[in-house]
Amino acid sequence: MVTREATIGFGKRYPEFWLNSRPHHVPATGNPGTHICLRAPNREAVEAFYAQAIALGARDEGAPAARAATMKSYFGAFIIDLDGNKIEAITFPQTQD
């Protein structure tokens, strides 16, 4: 992880995902088509992501729930952040064979 005054970068070996503070940026209007998906370690992390985002003013776009996808089922939640980005947190539950 790299932290600077207005930037933080995350990654396993080096920063690959960066978040930058842009206080003078004008938020997108309507649907800009941005969809960011973050992998969570478990259901509790997905639920915490959603609860914290909503508490900080994000808009609900899909509460935490089991979801069916084309390739594999998962547990996820969606929010629209204050800049209009659609952000999803997901985890893939372990299945019993």
CA angle 57, 59, 19 (to 5 degrees): 70
Mean pLDDT by 10 residues, the chain (97 residues): 78 78 75 82 96 96 91 92 90 67
Question: What is the b/e burial string over 9-20, where b = at least 16 CB atoms within 10 angstroms of the residue's CB?
Answer: eeeeeeeeeeee
> Domains in the chain and their CATH numbers?
33-97 (3.10.180.10)
For residue 76, give the nearest of 86, 85, 89 by alpha carbon. 89
The enclosing H or E element of 39 equals strand 35-39
Task: Record the pTM.
Answer: 0.72
